[in-house]
A and B are shown apart, each in its own frame.
Chain A
């Protein structure tokens, strides 16, 4: 607590406390271990005060006050446990339940649902009110996100995430009174709207109203199929997020245990997307140098984040040429797995099933793109989010914290620290700079850390001095920040040469497929963990990864070679919506 800050004395349930001026009742109560129930409140969001579950009694006030939105004042006398407060809590939960499909067993959020948890806390086993829930089918029209309107409690968290974090506002309230719904423009399927499938809505939804498309059964089926060689790759940010669901400290690094879990699940090979990240740096770095030296389209923008790519295609189609043509690490990995690795393993590409574990719902959409494959097969067959991996690990009864550690398999399992930091905002840029700098100067970097591009700021910028010219770079995360950069690019006034954009807050560590309960505070702990992984690895630059070097020697030739282009690059295109407002 800041010494100089003005303090306020109050009592909560007759316990005297002192908190800084400006503290809300809910946080003040937390300091003495009182959890005031809440549903619409989320620590990273603007306060809405919609659900009213956090109503508390304050002496001298005729009506209850919302603990989420009311600042404490000197001498305030708060009671969170009176009859009217309890009546309010129970009534509100009863009212919500009456307008909610209570089929918990079939819900993806079973045992991980805030509404369910609160009903359990207040010993509400069933609503005594008649059901008023409207029969509405689940909306499963896209490969990434499923909406179940019958489970929506209209708290508005998803709306805030989409509007305030991403600046997209694909979701909104429509109608009024008990007919109010959270929906999309003209009630179109999400993929047909401004939505870019990032899944941030699914991360903040307190119930099962917005969830990822569940592909776990597909994986279980593939693992049971003896005719298939099932391999898995894991994104850098998964290993620092997975532990959350198993009671470990946020940011716990569980790489080795995760590999063990995947082996116990029965995957034939457990590989690392970080290898794909190293490969991406080789291609993207060289692409950047090529553009720089040949009057190519600048600024060049990264294309690893599928939510961001979707955003570009839908919101700034005239700027698509600025996107790097390099595929994402996941898709590069998939392409190499079905060609190079298939060759090495003596398998036909069709016999291999590639599974990706990603922090991201949009990756499911990316994997399904027709351009991400060839000869009738896809580079990546199944994408699971971190949440789905958690489900699988729990399915087989493993506890991540206690598992012995194991190493990734060879040859697509060895990666540099540069690959690891891909999971954090600024990581791709830093990884690229490590390689670009050494390629251009021919010198060895003395300090591989580029601190200017690290941290949680929305937009970071730096200038890198290369022989002959300075390169101006920018890094942005969340699409609200990306928009600021894109307005400049669109106008042709962008001062930058190279820009990294990640759709989700904090980068992939804060992706829309990460464990429920992810907050900005947790995102920061995961970022720190990724830099720790990088710091402790023997190889920290992508071009020094010996398996990458072998891959080029034996298979690809040079970066940007014809074969590299065929397998590792792609192109993007304008995506029309059924409506246009601008």
Chain B
């Protein structure tokens, strides 16, 4: 049976993360040295060839993003590393930060070089405060070795990295909210345009990437073949998946795309505790979609998951066994969004609240046919017209559950 691969996680445990020397001993900063001899556009092309999609959840092609960032006119461009990993059941970025911090720093410098940026910001979620010293140390040492600062590697480009801690709001993972938070404002999304690639943090052109997307780049520069040989169909390479819930061995696993969901759950994550039956699996975090056990033999690729009604998203997989009812799970998920909406736009602010009320009525056996209909309409309106991605995706779980588990919403003969 398939096992994990070690491409992105190659350095995990291979060096002392507090020492830049140790990192360099295993080949650290070779990718940067190579990158600065290349035409930045070729690096973008390489990323496009590898079909890397943004690993934060939105799945935007990385090569295209960097190429656009390069093309934006403007001074003092910024690279932001989004380390505000807030999707419940997703914790892959944490592993990259704590096990391979120098690779992330190196990746950001390469991004800075490719996009023509002068500053990098790492925006890390409040809950990861314990990893701040690791990153701060890595930044400091990189600076001491001349990988950060002025005239890096004598190539005449300047780049610095700054570390920011979030205030602890889920919505701050959304690009514009994250930027406002860095700027010292309340972390609430704003309308787009202006798009952040043109006017981002402090009104500077900004390229925003997830930790995992960035971390891939140094490895890819040095060992493109291994990456290109992994995967299946349009989904090339490897992916970190975080498996949580009622499994024996929850954790983060690096899989080649194409591994089946069954393999991930039963081989890597050790199967369900006490061999219980699967009730549902939620893919991609709190804003992801759900499936029942019929998805087990689906290969984990962008296209196959989408065809099965779910998506890769942030790479999270929450496995729930039969002890929890679908409805209770939905209520828990809804509770989360009812608290985490920023509150600016009407559909998300008020919609989440009313869906919560209706789910609670449903649980008490008090819901009417009209309530179910209303809930569906509100969910649709939220996904179609909210200001930001949070509001747009907050009802992914509910909407997919309504399709997958219609019996939960069928009031049948229980209604008077």
Contact = CB atoms under 8 A, between A and B. Distances in A.
Contacts of B384: 55, 63-64, 84, 88
B381 A178 contact: no
B415 interface: no
Interface string B327-371: 000000000001111111111011111100100000000000010
B344 A173 contact: yes
Indicate the member of B193, B349, B377, B383 with the most A CB atoms within 10 Å: B349
A49 B349 contact: no
Contacts of A177: 338-343, 349, 352-353
A71 B352 CA distance: 29
B416 interface: no
B247 to A, nearest CB: 31
A133 to B, nearest CB: 11
Contacts of A153: 346
B352 A92 contact: no
B376 to A, nearest CB: 10
Interface class of chain B by DSSP: helix
Contacts of A95: 346-347, 350-351, 354, 378
Given A88-B385, A95-B378, A128-B370, A176 B346 contact: no
Nearest to B339: A177
* Max chain A C-beta neighbours (<10 A), residue from B169, B347, B357, B385: B385
B191 A47 contact: yes
Given A63-B392, A177-B339, A177-B352, A50 B345 contact: yes
A87 B343 contact: no
Given A50-B345, A63-B392, A92-B346, A173 B186 contact: yes
Interface size band for A: 35 or more
Contact of B191 (A69, A71, A91, A178): A69
A128 B374 contact: yes
A47 B339 CA distance: 26
Given A91-B347, A128-B370, A177-B339, A49 B352 contact: no
Given A177-B340, A177-B349, A52 B385 contact: yes
B206 to A, nearest CB: 19
Contacts of B374: 128-129
B281 to A, nearest CB: 25
B380 A53 contact: no
B349 A154 contact: yes
A176 B342 contact: yes
B343 A84 contact: no
A48 interface: yes
B386 interface: yes
B86 to A, nearest CB: 14
Nearest to A53: B346
A69 B353 CA distance: 26
A99 interface: yes
Nearest to A96: B346
Interface in B190-210: 191, 193
B232 interface: no
Interface string B372-416: 001001101101111100001000000000000000000000000
A482 interface: no
Most buried by A among B341, B345, B370: B345
A517 B216 CA distance: 55
A24 B377 CA distance: 27
A52 B343 contact: no
Contacts of B341: 176-178
Interface string A197-218: 0000000000000000000000
Interface in A95-124: 95-96, 98-99
A192 interface: no
Contact of B385 (A47, A55, A132): A55
Contact of A132 (B171, B343, B353): B353
B377 A91 contact: yes
Nearest to B353: A178
Interface string A390-413: 000000000000000000000000
A450 to B, nearest CB: 39
Interface in B280-322: none
B350 to A, nearest CB: 4
Contact of B377 (A49, A87, A173, A176): A87
B309 to A, nearest CB: 16
Nearest to B385: A55
A559 B383 CA distance: 69
A173 B343 contact: yes
Interface in A470-527: none
B383 A87 contact: no
B172 to A, nearest CB: 11
Contacts of A47: 191
9 contacts: A52-B347, A55-B384, A55-B385, A84-B384, A92-B385, A98-B354, A129-B374, A132-B354, A176-B169
The 3 A-B pairs of least Cβ separation, nearest first, read A180-B343, A95-B350, A49-B191
